[in-house]
Amino acid sequence: MKVDKLQEPLLEALKIYIRKRRPNKPHMFPKILMKITDLRSISAKGAERVITLKMEIPGSMPPLIQEMLENSEGHEPLTPTSNGNPAEHSPSISPSSVDNSSVSQSPMVQ
The pLDDT, as a whole number, for residue 17 is 96
Residue 86 lies in a domain: no
Please report whether residue 77 resides in a domain.
no
Judge whether 59 lies within some domain: yes
Q: Is 68 left (phi over 0), alpha (psi -120 to 50) or beta?
A: alpha
How far apart CA 50 and CA 81 sit, in angstroms, is: 16
Q: Which domain holds residue 24?
A: 1-68
Q: Does some domain include residue 101?
A: no
Asked if the structure places residue 28 within a domain, the reply is yes
pLDDT at position 71 is 61
The interaxial angle of helices 28-56 and 2-21, nearest 10 deg, is: 130
Q: Could you give the number of structural domains in the chain?
A: 1
For residue 40, being part of any structural domain is answered with yes
Query: Does the pLDDT value for residue 21 go beyond 70?
Result: yes
Q: Which amino acid is at 76?
A: E
79 near 61, Cβ under 8 Å? yes
